Amino acid sequence: MDIDFIETMLLTFKLATITTIILLVIGVPLALFLANSTKWYKSIIETIVSMPLVLPPSVLGFYLLIAFSPASFIGQNLHDLGIDLAFSFAGLVVGSIIFSLPFMVHPIQSALSQLPKSIYEASYTLGKSKLETLWRVILPISKHGIISGCVLAFAHTVGEFGVVLMIGGNISGETKVASIAIYDEVESLNYAMAHQYSLTLFIITFAILLLVYITNKKSLGEIR
């Protein structure tokens, strides 16, 4: 099997895995806030979180590239700290986190919003703290939403093209992920290799989604 193919696929799934883990850490508390908050600025936060769903990837990628550039205030300060995000794997991670955020937050927020307040109150009555209630009661009950969020974020990161192209370019072993490789192979009229990348992604994402639907169906059956 082609070495470049293996390297590109490994980089793709490395990016998706790191992005998903970070989004899980960010997404759970953010979804919990959005599901239960009545603050006036909740709608503003929801709008910001949902922007990547309607904003063209090239637009977000362009502004992130400008922000990461050493010529910008943010980029210059990061550069002084020895951090260069433009055309780097770290930049891909940051861009993927921002662009895949709603795919993690929305399923978890939906699952949490369906929980009755009595569950929280019952846990507090039994002497559980807010953290214990979240960890031992709320998250286990909402696991179908969490699993869905993780899978959607992972799959979306694997398939993203516009943002990763704008931020990372096409550097083999550093920023060249599968979606970029497919574009390159098609441009080169190498349809056999483009098919190899595409079919691999199709099979893997289909298998993951199928597993999630089966798992969620069983989880909902247990809850009922």
pLDDT digits (tens, 9 = 90+) for 124-142: 887 777 778 888 888 888 8
Per-residue confidence band for 94, with pLDDT thresholds at 50, 70 and 90: very high
**Residue 45 in domain:** no
Query: So what's the pLDDT on residue 70?
Result: 84
What rounded mean pLDDT belongs to the chain?
88
**What percentage of the chain reaches a pLDDT higher than 90?**
46
Average pLDDT value for residue range 108-137: 83
Query: So what's the pLDDT on residue 25?
Result: 95
**Residue 74 in domain:** yes
Query: So what's the pLDDT on residue 195?
Result: 93
How many domains does one find in the chain? 1
Which segments of 37-168 does DSSP mark as H helices, in order?
A: 42-54, 57-68, 73-80, 89-113, 117-125, 130-133, 139-141, 143-159, 162-168
Query: So what's the pLDDT on residue 221?
Result: 57
Query: Which amino acid is present at 57?
Result: P
Q: What is the largest CA-CA distance in the chain?
A: 66
**Residue 156 in domain:** yes
Residue 224 has pLDDT above 70, yes or no: no
**Residue 204 in domain:** yes
Residue 80 burial by Cβ neighbours in a 10 Å radius (0-12, 13-18, 19+):
exposed
CB within 8 A of 107, min separation 6: which ones? Answer: 145, 146, 148, 149, 152
Output the six-digit token pair for 223: 């809850």
Q: Can you tell me the distance from the alpha carbon of 224 to that of 205, in angstroms, rounded to the nearest whole number?
A: 28
| Each residue's pLDDT tens digit, 181-223 | 999 999 999 999 999 999 999 998 888 888 877 876 765 555 5
Query: So what's the pLDDT on residue 82?
Result: 85
**What percentage of the chain reaches a pLDDT higher than 70?**
96
Which DSSP state fits 88? Answer: S
Residue 52 has pLDDT above 80, yes or no: yes
Residue 115 has pLDDT above 90, yes or no: no
**Residue 160 in domain:** yes
Residue 88 has pLDDT above 70, yes or no: yes
**Residue 147 in domain:** yes
**Residue 44 in domain:** no
| Each residue's pLDDT tens digit, 144-186 | 899 889 999 999 999 888 899 889 888 888 899 999 999 999 9
Q: Can you tell me the distance from the alpha carbon of 143 to that of 107, in angstroms, rounded to the nearest whole number?
A: 10
Average pLDDT value for residue range 78-98: 90
**Residue 106 in domain:** yes
Q: Can you tell me the distance from the alpha carbon of 192 to that of 71, in angstroms, rounded to the nearest whole number?
A: 41
Q: State the residue range of the domain holding 168.
A: 3-36+57-216
Average pLDDT value for residue range 93-106: 94
CATH number of the domain enclosing 141: 1.10.3720.10
